[in-house]
Structure formats: structure tokens, C-alpha cells
């Protein structure tokens, strides 16, 4: 899932295929793989994943709409319409379906399967919200606030410049762009230079005073080199 969010769809698909091999009973995997197949334009594979999901969760509306999208891409308008029509019919019957699902179970066998049914219900809620977020914002996100849900957002990854060693390093406690190294610390403790050296990725723009001070240090070091070019 994380690979898919970062755009590494082919490797994400390989991971999901492996997950299915390890545990084919985890139907949630088919939902994620179906979405990845959609993005990879592997329409037939996407349809297969969503059909498997529909067989397990017949009231999960996003699976119908996603299957319709894949069928339409395949050019099968009839099948696409059939999935859309089924989703529409279920939407019209949602109150009746919810009442039926909320009715108390008196059958012992049904009672024993209740944990699994609750799990299906939770998955349907999370996945439906995920689908809604993708349609509205163009990104995959879980907004469900239940325990164990994951918030997913695209974030810009900023490549930092190369680390530099110098006097004029900007301190940034928020982004932690400053670094330490034992060799630099040991050298600074010897006080061989007029100022301490630092490691970082952001340098401070020099002011007129800084430039003047910098050249004074260069002049001082040059004088020391002239006096003792071997030991300096």
C-alpha cells in the first residue's frame, strides 16, 4: 500500500500478489490490488479482484462502481451498466439492508460468525471512506477514526542539498538539518580556528560584516602559513 502511494505501482502489485499467496482469505487485499490494477490499466485483473470482493461483500457499493469503471475501460458497456445498475439498486435499498443487518441474530451458527461479520462491516466502512476520499481529493486516505485506522496523505518529499562543512550553517531545530561528527567536534575543541566549524545543509547568507570577518580569518590563516607552512 505504501509503495502504491509513492507511485511504485509495479512493486506494490508484486507485494499484493505475494500477500494473496500467503493468505487468500484476506479479502481486503483484493480491494487494494484491484485499485492498483486500475491505475496500471490492467482492467481484466481489476475486474477479477472486484468480483471476488463483491462475492464476499455483496453490499459493498464501491466494488460495483470500480468494477463498472474497469468494464467500461475494456469496452464492455453492457457489463459496466449492469454493475452501475446493481449499485444503484442497492443504494435505494440501503435502509432496508441496514435494518436487516442490525436485526439480532438468534441462530447459534449466526452468533458464532458475528465477529467475522463485524470485521466485514468495519472493512466496508473504511474502504467506502477510502473510495470517497480518492474520488473527491484524488488521493487514497482513511478518514475512519476507529482504532487501527491509518491516515494516508500524499506528502512532498524534499531532497536536501549536500551536507557542507563551514562556519555559516543555519540552525534549524524543526527540520533537523544540522549534523554532528566526532572528528568535527574534536577539531573544534582544539580551538585551532577563529570560529567553530559545523555540518549542515543550509548555509546562512553572508552580510557585509560576515564577509569582512571571513576575509580577516583568511588573512590570519595566510599569515600563519607564511610563518610556518609545515606545521599549520
Nearest to 170 by CA among 145, 137, 204, 138: 204
DSSP count for the chain of H helices, then E strands: 11, 3
E runs forming strands in the chain: 164-166, 178-179, 198-200
Residue 16: exposure state from Cβ atoms within 10 A (0-12, 13-18, ≥19): buried
Q: Which helix (H) or strand (E) holds 214?
A: helix 208-227
The pTM of this model reads: 0.43
Query: Which CATH number is correct for 2-137, 3.20.20.140, 1.25.40.10, 1.10.510.10, 1.10.1740.10?
Result: 1.25.40.10
pLDDT of residue 137: 43
Write out pLDDT tens, residues 102-144. 554 444 344 444 455 555 555 555 555 555 554 444 444 444 4
The three-class DSSP label of residue 192 is coil
* Residues 84 and 92: beta-carbon distance below 8 Å: no
Nearest to 116 by CA among 57, 70, 74, 43: 57
User: Which residues have CB under 8 Å from 95's CB, separation 6+?
Assistant: none
User: Which residues have CB under 8 Å from 40's CB, separation 6+?
Assistant: 9, 10, 13
Check residue 169 and report its DSSP letter: B
User: Which residues have CB under 8 Å from 71's CB, separation 6+?
Assistant: 43, 47, 77, 79, 80, 83
User: Which residues have CB under 8 Å from 1's CB, separation 6+?
Assistant: 12, 32, 140, 152
pLDDT of residue 23: 79
* Residues 37 and 13: beta-carbon distance below 8 Å: yes
Max Cα–Cα distance, the chain, nearest Å: 99
Check residue 215 and report its DSSP letter: H
pLDDT of residue 4: 64
pLDDT of residue 139: 43
The three-class DSSP label of residue 165 is strand
In the chain, what are the domain boundaries?
2-137, 164-227
Spans of the chain below 50 pLDDT: 104-114, 134-154
Amino acid at each position: 500500500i505504501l509503495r502504491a502511494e509513492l507511485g511504485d505501482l509495479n512493486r506494490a502489485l508484486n507485494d499484493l500478489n505475494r500477500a494473496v499467496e500467503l493468505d487468500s482469505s484476506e479479502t481486503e487485499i483484493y480491494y487494494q490490488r484491484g485499485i492498483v490494477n486500475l491505475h496500471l490499466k490492467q482492467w481484466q485483473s481489476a475486474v477479477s479482484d472486484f468480483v471476488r470482493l463483491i462475492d464476499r461483500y455483496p453490499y459493498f457499493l464501491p466494488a460495483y462502481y470500480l468494477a463498472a469503471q474497469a468494464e467500461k475501460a475494456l469496452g464492455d458497456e453492457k457489463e459496466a451498466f449492469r454493475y452501475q445498475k446493481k449499485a444503484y439498486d442497492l443504494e435505494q435499498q440501503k435502509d432496508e439492508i441496514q435494518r436487516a443487518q442490525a436485526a439480532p441474530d438468534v441462530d447459534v451458527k449466526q452468533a458464532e460468525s458475528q465477529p467475522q461479520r463485524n470485521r466485514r462491516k468495519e472493512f466496508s466502512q473504511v474502504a467506502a471512506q477510502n473510495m470517497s476520499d480518492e474520488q473527491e481529493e484524488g488521493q487514497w486516505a482513511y478518514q475512519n477514526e476507529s482504532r487501527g485506522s491509518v491516515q494516508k496523505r500524499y506528502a512532498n518529499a524534499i531532497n536536501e542539498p549536500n551536507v557542507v562543512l563551514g562556519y555559516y550553517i543555519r540552525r534549524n531545530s524543526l527540520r533537523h538539518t544540522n549534523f554532528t561528527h566526532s572528528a568535527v567536534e574534536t577539531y573544534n575543541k582544539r580551538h585551532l580556528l577563529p570560529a567553530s566549524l559545523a555540518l549542515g545543509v543550509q548555509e546562512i547568507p553572508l552580510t557585509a560584516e560576515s564577509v569582512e570577518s571571513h576575509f580577516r580569518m583568511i588573512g590570519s590563516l595566510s599569515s600563519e602559513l607564511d610563518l610556518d607552512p609545515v606545521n599549520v
